[in-house]
Amino acid sequence: MKARIPLLVGLVLLGPLGPAGAQPLPKLPLLNACAGDRSDVPYWTRALKAPDPQLRLRATQNLGESRSEAATPALTDALKDPDPAVRAEAARALQRIRRAGSSFSQ
């Protein structure tokens, strides 16, 4: 008798199921820029110049999570990005950095 893979394990291996014709979820790299981790700020700042809008979007998200004031000039430039999602995320990232700065100064 052949061993069968339990249904749950099979679903985990297949990944999330969605409606037919749905766009697959983008594969996103692990987020290194947890709140307070500023080690990858130079990398993500350079990534804001990448031709791929998904990478630029990820860069703005990570820079916002880093809450590093060093990212402010690059994020300010990203407010002029041709992709509207990147511009919106850059604005959110700048707000996160401002909030973090104001909470540290109190």
Residue 56 sits in a domain whose CATH number is 1.25.10.10
Domain assignment present for residue 3? The answer is: no
User: Considering its fold, how many domains does the chain have in total?
Assistant: 1
Domain range for 48 is 41-106
Domain assignment present for residue 2? The answer is: no
pTM of the model: 0.62
Domain assignment present for residue 57? The answer is: yes
Buried b (16+ CB within 10 A) or exposed e, 7-36: eeeeeeeeeeeeeeeeeeeeeeeeeebeee
- Amino acid letter at 90? A
Whether the CB-CB separation of 40 and 33 falls below 8 Å is answered with: yes
Domain assignment present for residue 4? The answer is: no
Domain assignment present for residue 14? The answer is: no
For residue 71, what is the DSSP state?
G
- The pair of structure tokens assigned to 14 is 């297949």
Residues 82 and 58: their CA atoms lie apart, in Å, by: 15
pLDDT tens for the chain, residues 1 to 106: 455 545 444 444 444 444 545 444 444 444 444 444 566 899 999 999 999 999 999 999 999 999 999 999 999 999 999 999 999 999 999 999 999 887 655 4
Domain assignment present for residue 72? The answer is: yes
Domain assignment present for residue 29? The answer is: no
Domain assignment present for residue 67? The answer is: yes
